[in-house]
Structure 1
Amino acid sequence: MRKLCATCAMVAVTALVSTGVAQADDPPTTVAGLIGRYVDLSRQAEKVNEQLLKAQEKAQGLREQAATADAAFQAADKSWKQAQQQADGVVADRRHRAELLRSLVPANSVAAVLNSSSADAFTSASIAVGLAHDADDAVAAASAQALAQTSKAREEAQKQQDAASKAAAAATAIEAQVGNQRSDLQKRVSQVRAALDALPADEVAMLQSGVTAPNVMTPPGAVGVALRFAIAQLGKPYEWGGTGPIAYDCSGLVQAAYRAAGIALPRVAADQAQVGVQVSRADVKAGDLIYFYQPVQHVAIALDHNQAVQAATFGEPIKVSPIDAIGPITVIRRVVTN
């Protein structure tokens, strides 16, 4: 009967894969092969999920920079327009003043002397005209300088706006591309998972084990708080990009556990792997963060020297696993050292 169920599962996965995006995948012919394919695709998807999280962080940061650059350009553009209006106003005022002065003081000095009641009157009028022109020239020069400065500032702000906009657009495109890759892998994982679900429960029991709270003593302090939080999540589903409280991915679980203890960690496993002090496998103790694969794409929280809590992979619950059975260890970090 088990052979029959396994055969049905192989037929199911063949049909599923043939209709999906992963048509090049040859379906495994054994239960062990099917589980191996499931784990392999899940690891690929987890790696791409980490890449997507990084791409999303970068794209969001660049979009915020683009918004800031756009606001700066709008402010510079407003200042430039105000300076331009002021310069136009000065020109119009000069024209009006010139017309007024021409009507008050004859341009021909001989005529001015003949028409003036005295030489002093002519001199006073001439000085008034000169001072008026000098003042007008000073205002015009200041206005022109202000216009030049704001024009230059506007041009620079526009360059920064254009550069920030292009960088944000490029990052968003990469974000979409990686998102499509993750969606593709998620479909492939789901297809194999559907075939696994067609098997008897005892055939795939290893994928569901470890959801019972272990009988371990958690240490005091922040480490104990983080571990108790993680243990309380046992049995909850894995979700790519999940940060709780209903579902988590591996780094989302670690971040949430230590956040409960008042310690902030980066979102992505590769970034988390830079925090704290490095310890050896021989020195692992409760609360240490164990990072797997190269480059880093998975993380688990050590319960003790031999086992760890992890959000393992898509389709599996959060569980406790033997540390050395999870995968190749890249680095181990201790966040709390006291």
Structure 2
Amino acid sequence: MRKLGLRSCCVVVLAASVFPLLVPAASAGADDAPTTVAGLVGRYVDLSRQAERVNEQLLKAQEQATALRQQAVAADAAFRAADDSWKQAVRQAEQLVADRRERAALLRTMVPANSVAAVLNSGSQDEFASASILAGLVHDADDAVQAATAQTLAQTSQAREAAERQQAAAEKAAAAATATENQVSAQRADLDKRVAQVRAALNALPPDAVSLMQGGTVAPSVTVPPGAVGTALRFALAQLGKPYEWGGTGPFAYDCSGLVQAAYGAAGVRLPRVAADQALVGQRVARADVRAGDLLYFYQPVQHVALALDHNQAIQAATFGEPVKISPIDSIGPIAVIRRLVTN
């Protein structure tokens, strides 16, 4: 499977860089209910757009929170390993002290501290010299081992302290990311409720009043090119009529970026999950040069994506309450950028 990389620098995700909220909580608050069909449709479109933006925000927050939680788990494992090494060094140092004390007691029985007594008690001067040399060698060896042990103890202690700091920082970043994830999730749930309320009001209207919102679910006569582009388009066309679902990646429901990711995934091309990240992949294309298979990204910052069927039409998972459908490109919204992933 081909993987297309983002054209951006890799950065370490910290708690402060968790994707910021794009829609203030107040914007989702209750306000005056529309009094006309046009006003109701306008409210639905506005709330759906906000919900889609927050949904993209939530997906990004979930990605970041998951990555930071994984980093916290790794940092915890690293601290445990450093702690084990430090504890082992402590045990070795304690054992060295005990060994030295035991050998010192043994040497005192072999070599009296008073050199005159040592001469008198030795069978010969050579015996005394040998015992003295042996004592000196043992002490020298002990000193070398003690120095090495002290160095190991200092190093493992420093490594443990560094690992402990990293563990604390990773846990703090993960907690902050989870808090942001929960905050955005709550905001999306509030928007979901409001969108559903407006959608219920729309569904209570005569069918012809909202039929245009359901249009474009029948596959038109489209010439599908060969290769990966054709595979992606055939996959997308096969999803026509399936429901929209925030965070949906198929096979039964999709959101906008989930549909595009799945379509090109069927062609062996890997894309990021979120529309804003997808918009950084591939070759930039002008509106005048759009052709089948190009990806069209809408609004600024990017919050929606559609897959071009030709120069004028695109297939999209539009918004809550609407099925996957085909729409005129220029009716979807303001285009932020157009990308071409493959040239075949």
TM-score past 0.5 threshold = yes
Whole-Å separation in 2 of the counterparts to 1:236 and 1:24: 30
**What's the Cα RMSD here?**
1.1
How far the C-alpha of 1:56 sits from its partner, in A, is 1.0
Per the alignment, residue 24 of structure 1 pairs with: 30
Task: Report the Cα offset of residue 23 of structure 1.
Answer: 5.9
Q: 1:328 aligns with which of 326, 334, 338?
A: 334
Q: 1:159-178 to 2 correspondence within 5 Å?
A: 159-178=165-184
The Cα offsets for residues 267-293 of structure 1, whole Å up to 9 and x where unpaired, read as 111111111111111111110101111
State the 1:200 CA deviation.
1.6
1:143 Cα deviation from its structure 2 partner: 1.0
How far the C-alpha of 1:139 sits from its partner, in A, is 1.2
- The amino acid that maps onto 1:232 is A
Q: Give the aligned partner of residue 50 of structure 1.
A: 56
What residue in structure 1 maps to residue 42 of structure 2?
Answer: 36
Larger relative helix fraction: 1
Cα separation, 2, equivalents of 1:324 and 1:117 = 111
Partner of 1:243: 249
**Structure 2 vs 1, CA of residues 128 and 173 (structure 1 numbering), >3 Å: closer, same or farther?**
same
1:189 corresponds, among 178, 185, 195, to 195
1:300 maps to 2:313: no
TM-score (norm 2): 0.91
Question: What is the number of equivalent residue pairs in this alignment?
Answer: 318
> Runs of at least 4 residues of structure 1 off by over 3 A?
none
Secondary structure of the residue that 1:309 maps to in structure 2?
Answer: strand
Opposite residue 62 of structure 1, the aligned amino acid is: L
Q: 2:286 aligned to 280, 296, 300, which one?
A: 280
Match of 1:316 in 2: 322
Write out per-residue CA displacement over residues 82-125 of structure 1, whole angstroms, 9 at most, x where no aligned residue.
11111110011111111111122111111111111111111111
Q: In structure 2, list runs of 5 or more residues that go unmatched.
A: 1-26
Query: 1:337 Cα shift?
Result: 2.0
How far did residue 172 of structure 1 move? 1.0
Distance, in Å, in 1 between the alignment partners of 2:225 and 2:262 is 18
Report the Cα distance in structure 1 between the residues aligned to 2:79 and 2:51, rounded to whole angstroms: 41
- Cα distance in 2 for residues equivalent to 1:139 and 1:22: 69
TM, length-normalised to structure 1:
0.92
Mapped to 1, the partners of 2:301 and 2:121 lie a distance apart of 96
**2:272 counterpart SS class:** coil
Which residue pairs with 2:15 in the alignment? none
Task: Give the Cα separation in 2 of the matches to 1:138 and 1:291.
Answer: 68
Secondary structure of the corresponding residue to residue 270 of structure 2? coil
Partner of 1:232: 238
Write the letter of the residue equivalent to 2:338. Answer: I
Q: Structure 2: how far apart are the matches of 1:230 and 1:271?
A: 20
Name the SS for the 1:321 alignment partner. Answer: strand
Pick from 211, 218, 239: which aligns with 2:217? 211
Give the Cα–Cα distance (whole angstroms) in 2 for the partners of residues 104 and 237 of structure 1: 92
1:198-219 deviation per Cα after TM superposition (whole angstroms, max 9, x unaligned): 1121110011111111111111
CA distance in 1, matches of 2:110, 2:50: 88
State the AA in 2 paired with 1:236.
K
1:11 is aligned to none
Matches within 5 A, 1:57-96: 57-96=63-102
Partner Cα separation in structure 2 for residue 204 and residue 24 of structure 1: 23
How far off is 1:178 after superposition? 0.9
Give the alignment partner of residue 223 of structure 1, picking from 217, 224, 229: 229
- Which residue among 120, 125, 129 is the counterpart of 1:123? 129
What is the one-letter code of the residue matched to 1:166? K
**What is the Cα deviation at residue 22 of structure 1?**
6.0
Shift of 1:236: 0.5
User: Partner of 2:103: helix, strand, or coil?
Assistant: helix
Change (3 A) 1:296 1:22: closer
Q: Which runs of 5+ in 1 are unaligned?
A: 1-20
